[in-house]
A and B are shown apart, each in its own frame.
Chain A
Amino acid sequence: AQSVTQLGSHVSVSEGALVLLRCNYSSSVPPYLFWYVQYPNQGLQLLLKYTSAATLVKGINGFEAEFKKSETSFHLTKPSAHMSDAAEYFCAVSETGNQFYFGTGTSLTVIP
């Protein structure tokens, strides 16, 4: 069975500081992994996805994530936080296309 765990439902960082949002997954086969961002009153927008090519995946808005099979992790990072990064972030895993399993989300606050 697949599942996703996002450690930390709330993360606060100072503007310009490193952003690290954690995601661990469980999957019986090599999975497809995704990070989505949700701004207030909007739907989810894809940040990046891992599909078994490079283990370091670069996404939009300066975000990137590294797939670590040994740790079953897919943490999201950004070197320098901007105020506009404040949003809800969701990690998701998929083995088959129709079934996405989402984590409970991490709310990112950026402190000026």
Chain B
Amino acid sequence: ETGVTQTPRHLVMGMTNKKSLKCEQHLGHNAMYWYKQSAKKPLELMFVYNFKEQTENNSVPSRFSPECPNSSHLFLHLHTLQPEDSALYLCASSQDGLAGNEQFFGPGTRLTVL
């Protein structure tokens, strides 16, 4: 595997379900990100981890819970979601949190909440 991988690629869940999204980066990076991409809206940064420590939480509802066990893996735990949470969830990584470093994106998980 190379780059940034995400599983599953598609997920359909009910509002009472609990599921997790997984992201893995094979680039040796130290910073990882979760974004939400909804139609006609800019990408929304949700969470940032630098060296496994959460450094940003952009007012994300508590029904989204991130976990970063090491610099290569990032999870997004989901519970009691709402239909408006349906979107493409993108994971990204960068060398570190310094300015000028580009972010490398995974293919995303398409989430549908029924």
Contacts and interface: CB of A to CB of B under 8 A. Distances in A.
Interface in B72-114: 90, 92, 94, 96-108
Given A4-B42, A34-B102, A103-B42, A98 B107 contact: no
Contacts of B94: 97
In this complex, the member of A90, A97, A99 whose beta carbon has the largest number of chain B beta carbons within 10 angstroms is A97
A45 B105 contact: yes
Interface size grouping (class) on chain A: 20 to 34
A34 B6 CA distance: 23
Interface in A25-62: 32, 34, 36, 41-46, 49, 51
Interface in B33-47: 33, 40-43, 45
Contact of B99 (A44, A46, A95, A102): A95
Contacts of A96: 97, 99
A43 B42 contact: no
Contacts of A103: 42
The 10 A-B residue pairs whose C-beta atoms are closest, nearest first, are A43-B105, A102-B43, A44-B105, A97-B97, A97-B98, A98-B97, A51-B100, A102-B42, A97-B99, A43-B107
Interface of B: 4, 6, 31, 33, 40-43, 45, 48, 50, 55-56, 90, 92, 94, 96-108
